[in-house]
């Protein structure tokens, strides 16, 4: 990060209705039983299309952020679904989202390839755009939806996938949270390597550990109020706790059984829900961790 301060505001999300794992269509009963023992009890299924989910989140962000549509210099769409057996966003549907919210003059960018680290990738691109241009705000939208219930169990066995969307304004001028640190790491050898489940999880945990330990000293890790990561099963959560050297109390796990894994969205969904239940004092600092197939992300937010 440079000296130019950036902020997040207008965090808003929408998710589908809660469905017990036992009701998943074509679900393997043994897999459902295993996931249930590991803390996953529901997934979120929405009758809305992905564009409709994204449109709802964008509408709430624009309503609550205090940002005029004319102030948004760019819109970054970051869906994961093109690589996870599901439906995508067609150009006319994207145009409708922009038109419905007065964003027709904003530059449009797509952020993909990073799977559930698309949020970190979008933050990187959004930060770069703000520092390279004369506009003050960009709108970031992440959202995903599974087309078939049988595809909801992740190949890595980390979690069960849910439908939802999240959006927020990344701004130079102020907001609810200051982005104090942002870093990603990549290992492109993953594009050609074959992993078993345990090896993939172990590698992801080690990459997140390296990013955690690289957080600048002026943001003491021991003083982080909470660590937010994806809603992965408890085996993954415990491995991550060991790698980071933190106790369970540092992790927000309330949404694990309630939401499932909302692709790129649930890290910040977890922050929103935590703050709704336990409002943090100004100055509180949070770490957010994201996992993709070959990219991992870590960013630190300070409450304003």
Domain match, 194 and 153 both: no
Domain match, 139 and 197 both: no
Domain match, 121 and 210 both: no
Q: What is the pLDDT of residue 85?
A: 47
pLDDT digits (tens, 9 = 90+) for 142-196: 999 988 888 888 877 889 999 999 999 999 999 999 999 999 999 888 888 777 7
Q: What is the pLDDT of residue 1?
A: 46
Q: Is the pLDDT of residue 213 over 90?
A: yes
Domain match, 84 and 202 both: no
Domain match, 52 and 127 both: yes
User: Angle at Cα 273 formed by Cα 272 and Cα 278, nearest 5°?
Assistant: 100
Report, as an integer, the average pLDDT of 78-86: 64
Report, as an integer, the average pLDDT of 128-154: 91
pLDDT band, residue 84 (cuts 50/70/90): very low
Domain match, 98 and 228 both: no
Q: What percent of the chain has pLDDT over 90?
A: 75
- Strand-pair category, 137-144 with 164-171: antiparallel
Residue 157 is assigned to a structural domain of this protein: yes
This model's pTM is above 0.85: yes
Domain match, 139 and 205 both: no
Domain match, 118 and 11 both: yes
Residue 27 is assigned to a structural domain of this protein: yes
Domain match, 41 and 99 both: yes
Residue 108 is assigned to a structural domain of this protein: yes
Domain around 237: 177-303
Distance CA 185, CA 210 (A): 9
Residue 210 phi/psi, 5-degree rounding, is -65, -40
Domain match, 29 and 102 both: yes
Residue 1 is assigned to a structural domain of this protein: no
Residue 270 is assigned to a structural domain of this protein: yes
Nearest to 264 by CA among 53, 103, 63: 53
Last residue of a domain, one of 154, 171, 188: 171
Distance CA 274, CA 287 (A): 13
- Residue 229, domain CATH: 3.40.47.10
| 239 strand-pairing partners | none
Residue 190 phi/psi, 5-degree rounding, is -65, -20
Residue 216 is assigned to a structural domain of this protein: yes
Domain match, 11 and 138 both: yes
Last residue of a domain, one of 171, 204, 225: 171
Last residue of a domain, one of 139, 171, 203: 171
Total domains, the chain: 2
Domain match, 165 and 215 both: no
CB 62 within 8 A of CB 280: no
Residue 130 is assigned to a structural domain of this protein: yes
Residue 293 is assigned to a structural domain of this protein: yes
């Amino acid at each position: 990060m440079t000296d130019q301060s950036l902020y997040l505001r207008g965090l808003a999300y929408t998710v589908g209705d809660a469905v017990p794992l036992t009701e998943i269509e074509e679900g393997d009963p043994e897999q459902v039983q295993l996931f249930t023992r590991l803390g996953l009890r529901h997934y979120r299924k929405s009758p809305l299309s992905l564009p409709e989910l994204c449109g709802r989140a964008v509408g709430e962000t624009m309503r609550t952020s205090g940002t005029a549509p004319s102030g948004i210099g760019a819109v970054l769409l970051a869906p994961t679904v093109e690589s996870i057996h599901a439906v995508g966003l067609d150009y006319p549907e994207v145009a409708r989202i922009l038109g419905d919210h007065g964003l027709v003059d904003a530059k449009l960018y797509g952020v993909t390839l990073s799977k559930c680290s698309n949020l970190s990738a979008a933050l990187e691109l959004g930060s770069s755009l703000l520092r390279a241009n004369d506009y003050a705000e960009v709108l970031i939208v992440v959202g995903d939806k599974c087309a078939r219930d049988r595809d909801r169990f992740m190949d890595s066995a980390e979690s069960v996938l849910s439908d939802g969307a999240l959006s927020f304004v990344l701004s130079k001028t102020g907001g609810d949270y200051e982005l104090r640190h942002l870093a990603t790491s990549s290992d492109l050898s993953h594009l050609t390597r074959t992993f078993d489940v345990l090896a993939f999880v172990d590698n992801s945990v080690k990459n997140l550990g390296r990013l955690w330990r690289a957080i600048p000293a002026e943001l003491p890790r021991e003083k982080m109020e909470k660590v937010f990561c994806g809603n992965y099963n408890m085996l993954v959560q415990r491995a991550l706790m060991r790698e980071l050297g933190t106790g369970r109390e540092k992790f927000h796990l309330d949404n694990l059984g309630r939401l499932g894994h909302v692709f790129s969205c649930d890290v910040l969904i977890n922050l929103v829900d935590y703050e709704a239940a336990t409002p943090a004092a100004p100055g509180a600092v949070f770490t957010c961790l994201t996992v993709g197939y070959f990219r991992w992300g870590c960013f630190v937010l300070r409450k304003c």
